[in-house]
Amino acid sequence: MRLDIFLKNTGLIKQRSEAKRACDAGRVQIGGQPAKASHLVIIGEQITIETDVRLLDVEVLSVLARPPAKRDRHRFYRIIRDEHRDPYDDLSF
C-alpha cells in the first residue's frame, strides 16, 4: 500500500492530498530518510511525521487492504513518540 494512502486510511493525516504534500515537503520520513508518497509501506517500518505543532513516530503493525472503521484505525500502527509543540514558542517579544 502507498504511504499517502496508509496515512489517510489510518487517520494519521486527514486527507490523501495533505499526506502527499507532507511527503513532498520532507515532513514524512521512514527510517530517518525523506519518504515519497508512492513508497510501499512494509510491516515494521518506523514513520516519522513532523508538523508545526506535532512530532509523531509510529511503527507499522499491519497493512490494511481497505479503509478500516474509525474505531479500528489504531490497530494498524503503534505510537512510539508523540510530542506536541507550541508553534509560538520561538517568538520573543
What domains, with CATH codes, occur in the chain?
3-84 (3.10.290.10)
The predicted-structure confidence for 45-74, as pLDDT tens digits, reads as follows 999 999 888 999 999 999 988 889 999 999
Angle at 48 between CA 14 and CA 11, to 5 degrees: 20
Instruction: Please tell me the predicted confidence (pLDDT) of residue 4.
Output: 95
> Looking at residue 93, what is its pLDDT?
67
> 10-39, pLDDT tens digit by residue?
999 999 999 999 999 999 999 989 999 999
Report pLDDT for 71: 93
Query: Is the pTM here over 0.85, yes or no?
Result: yes
Q: Which among 32, 76, 26, 74 has a CA at the least distance from the CA of 51?
A: 26
